[in-house]
Structure 1
Amino acid sequence: MLTAMAMCDPDGFRARLRRPYRPTGHLKIMWVHFPHEGVITDDAGCRNLGQLPSFAGYFGAPRAGNAVRPSTDTTGRGGFVYLLHSDADVVEADAARVGAWSDEGALFDVRPAPAAAV
């Protein structure tokens, strides 16, 4: 929008640049990880995310049938939950819930991987 405004209404664009920036919301991005190796059999727990007041979206969510392993980095294998709300306390409370759900393995049902043959 601002790029178009700069081209089509340069005076309005310059006036807007002089206004102080005031954020209207608080954003937190939560990395979803897996505590155990296996294959996702169900993602029903992810439906609970939509009930959170600050839930804005889930990018890169794995699907049933995907193999997962314990997460050791933030490469996005488990995806990212976006929380956005005008009240920072709401975002923090929801972030604590998402973190607990991720730690407990409550977002996905994961069937353990078969033991490797020796």
Structure 2
Amino acid sequence: MKRTVGCIIAGIFLASLFSITLNPSPSLAGPIKLTYANFPPAPTFPCVQMERWKKEVEKRTGGKVAIDTFPGGTLLDAKNMMDGVIAGQADIGCLCMAYQPGRFIVTNATALPLDIP
């Protein structure tokens, strides 16, 4: 009985030692780079907040995440934002649902004109 328990413990030890040696060590890759596309001009509120958000993310991650911002439609314009993010032209995009007719049917209903005198 003692021999069986000893063999099991030794087997577990050897298996864990073997699995540790086969695990790849973490690579020394550089920072994660993301692109953030926005369509309003740079001095407007959304783009100013985009820059503040970028700085905060980079600060909180200790530089492990780097974000390149593209204000003013320099990477993607408002109508192509959704397709550009899906295609991988940008990782993050500021989206205006009103510029995407037919994609957000329920939320676009709130933009319909009302018959208010």
TM-score w.r.t. structure 1 length?
0.31
Structure holding more helix per residue: 2
Of structures 1 and 2, the larger Rg is shown by 2
TM-score w.r.t. structure 2 length?
0.31
Structure holding more strand per residue: 1
Structure number with higher relative contact order (C-alpha < 8 Å, ≥ 6 residues apart): 1
